[in-house]
Amino acid sequence: MKAAAVRQILDRPGMRSMMSGMARHLGPTGSGIVVGHRTYQPGDDYRLLDWPLFARTGDLHVRKMEQEMDLHVELLLDASASMGIGTPLRAFDRARSVAAELVREAVARRFGVIATVFRSDLIERRSGLRGPEAMSGMRLALQNLEPEGSTDLPRCVRQSLLRDRRRRMLVILTDGCPDPEAVRLAAHDAVRSGCSMRVVWVEGTPLEEHPALRRGPVRLPDGTSVDLRSPEARFRLHLARVRRRVKALDALKTLPRPAFDLLVASSTAEMDGTQGVRDD
């Protein structure tokens, strides 16, 4: 995966200062940057009163401070059965490589990194990834994992938010099979918790790009299925269903207040954040 595509996922406006913080939030203490004032209310911390302003105006005002904090990134990797579709490269294989590149880039930027694998429930969660040892451990855990089961994205996001209350960026790697309504609910929970969310749609290698099919139409053997259609035809139908869902997700981005960003990682375009779906 290209480095520019990885940076596109993790990039966000940073702080123009000498400190290492990568995000801003309103802080409860007096350490930070004054960004405004509000009228004093009974019960407010008197240490935040702006006494020079009181000397000039005679009114009590509380300073609104803005602090710097480190940016935390959590990767949520879909390991449901639909991620095993694709020939010769499955969607899950591509998602694992994308996740490894994202973790490597986030560690290089000194972000706090959390890697979570989910199906209908959280099955593995690794936090505090630092250095090559953590990278090798995560890579080994992903290599021994096979996609199976169903997908429950809202439940997974909700459990992750309950386990860790820190504000962070959620990056979801999935094949687009979760319904648009499920993604909308997950984004709603993330925004309510003060987190941002990015959905990366990952697809496997389409059969039309399989090396064997370049020599002409080939009917792939399938002796275990009762479906009389060829695997190629079934896979094309699956891709059509997935792309319809991705188009619906892309339509959610056009709302007045978008809750998440949608990017596409496919075999022909490494990362496309403007089109939302690849047209073949």
Using omega within 30 degrees of 0 as the cis cutoff, is the peptide bond preceding 88 cis?
yes
Tokens, residue 31: 């350490």
**In the predicted model, is pLDDT for residue 160 greater than 80?**
yes
Residues with Cβ within 8 Å of 138's Cβ and at least 6 positions away in sequence, in order, are: 100, 103, 115, 126, 129
Residues with Cβ within 8 Å of 112's Cβ and at least 6 positions away in sequence, in order, are: 70, 71, 72, 73, 127, 128, 166, 168
Instruction: Please report, rounded to a whole number, the percentage of residues in the chain having pLDDT higher than 90.
Output: 0
Bridge-partner residues for 72, per DSSP?
112
Which of the 8 DSSP states describes residue 61? E
The pLDDT score that the predictor gives to residue 272 is: 40
Let me know: does 234 contact 228? Beta carbons within 8 Å: no
pLDDT-derived band at 21 (thresholds 50, 70, 90) equals very low
Most confident of 25-29, 72-76, 118-122, 257-261: 72-76
Every domain of the chain with CATH number 3.40.50.410 lies at 3-10+70-208+221-265
How high is the mean pLDDT of the chain?
69
pLDDT in tens, 42-63: 888 888 888 888 899 999 988 8
Helices 3-10 and 91-108: crossing angle, nearest 10°?
70
Residues with Cβ within 8 Å of 79's Cβ and at least 6 positions away in sequence, in order, are: 92, 117, 118, 119, 123, 145, 146, 147, 148, 149
The pLDDT score that the predictor gives to residue 199 is: 83
The pLDDT score that the predictor gives to residue 214 is: 41
Let me know: does 36 contact 64? Beta carbons within 8 Å: yes
The pLDDT score that the predictor gives to residue 89 is: 74
pLDDT-derived band at 154 (thresholds 50, 70, 90) equals confident
**In the predicted model, is pLDDT for residue 246 greater than 80?**
no
The pLDDT score that the predictor gives to residue 236 is: 66
pLDDT in tens, 206-231: 544 444 334 444 343 333 344 445 55
Q: Residue 72: which H helix or E strand, with range?
A: strand 72-78
Query: Which is more confidently placed, 25 or 8?
Result: 8
Q: Which CATH superfamily, name and number, covers 3-10+70-208+221-265?
A: von Willebrand factor, type A domain (3.40.50.410)
**Do strands 169-174 and 72-78 pair parallel, antiparallel, or not at all (unpaired)?**
parallel
Least confident span in 7-16, 164-173, 198-207: 7-16
The pLDDT score that the predictor gives to residue 44 is: 82
Query: Which is more confidently placed, 271 or 144?
Result: 144
**In the predicted model, is pLDDT for residue 276 greater than 50?**
no
Cα–Cα dist 206/84, whole Å: 13
Q: What is the mean pLDDT of residues 275-279?
A: 32
